[in-house]
Structure 1
Amino acid sequence: MEEITVSDSAAADTASSLPRKRPADEKRDQQLPSKKPHMDNEPRPTEVKEREISRGAEAVVSVINFLGRKAIQKQRLPKRYRHPELDAKLTSRRLQQEARVLLRLRKEGIRVPAVYSVNVKSGLLIMECVPGLTLKELLQENQQGGDEVMRKAGRAVAKMHKCDIVHGDLTTGNILVHDGKVCIIDFGLSGGNGTEEDLAVDLYVLERAVVSAHSEKAQPLNEAFLVAYAEELRRPAVLKRLEEVRARGRKRDMSG
Structure 2
Amino acid sequence: MERLMRRGAEADIYLGEWFGKEAILKIRKPKPYRQKELDMEIRKRRTLHEASFLVEARKAGVLTPLVYFIDPKNAEIVMQYIKGMRLREMIFDQRANVDELCSEVGRSIAKLHGSSIIHGDLTTSNFLVVDNSTLIFIDFGLAFFSQRLEDMAVDLHLMKEVLTSAHSEVADRAFSLILKGYESIAGANRVKDLTRKMGEIERRGRYARVE
Q: TM-score, normalised by structure 1?
A: 0.76
Query: Which stretch of structure 1 is more off in the superposition, 211-220 or 111-120?
Result: 211-220
Aligned partners of 2:24 and 2:7: how far apart in 1? 13
1:70 aligned partner: 22
2:122 aligned partner: 170
The residue correspondences of 1:97-246 to structure 2 (distance < 5 A) are 97-142=49-94, 144-179=96-131, 180-234=133-187, 235-236=190-191, 237-246=193-202
Q: Secondary structure at the match of 2:13?
A: strand
Query: Which stretch of structure 1 is more off in the superposition, 181-190 or 242-251?
Result: 242-251
Task: Provide the aligned C-alpha RMSD in A.
Answer: 1.7
Aligned partners of 1:132 and 1:254: how far apart in 2? 42
Q: Secondary structure at the match of 2:146?
A: coil
Q: Secondary structure at the match of 1:215?
A: coil
Letter paired with 2:84: G
Instruction: Give the % identical residues.
Output: 37
Q: Secondary structure at the match of 2:52?
A: helix
1:40 aligned partner: none
Structure number, greater radius of gyration? 1
More strand by share: 2
Give CA deviations for 1:63-94 in whole Å, capped at 9, x if unaligned. Answer: 11121111111101122222222222222111
Give CA deviations for 1:39-81 in whole Å, capped at 9, x if unaligned. Answer: xxxxxxxxx31x2222222111111112111111110112222
Shift of 1:153: 0.9
1:56 aligned partner: 8
**Would the alpha carbon gap of residues 118 and 242 (structure 1) be closer, same or farther in structure 2, given more than 3 Å must change?**
same
Give CA deviations for 1:7-37 in whole Å, capped at 9, x if unaligned. Answer: xxxxxxxxxxxxxxxxxxxxxxxxxxxxxxx
Which structure 1 segments of 5+ residues have no match?
1-47
**Would the alpha carbon gap of residues 253 and 62 (structure 1) be closer, same or farther in structure 2, given more than 3 Å must change?**
farther
Shift of 1:193: 2.5
Aligned partners of 2:108 and 2:163: how far apart in 1? 16
Q: Secondary structure at the match of 2:200?
A: helix
**How many pairs align?**
207
Shift of 1:253: 4.7
Shift of 1:185: 0.3
- Structure with the larger RCO, 1 or 2 (CA within 8 Å, 6+ apart): 2
Contact 2:61 2:111 (8 Å CA) reproduced: no
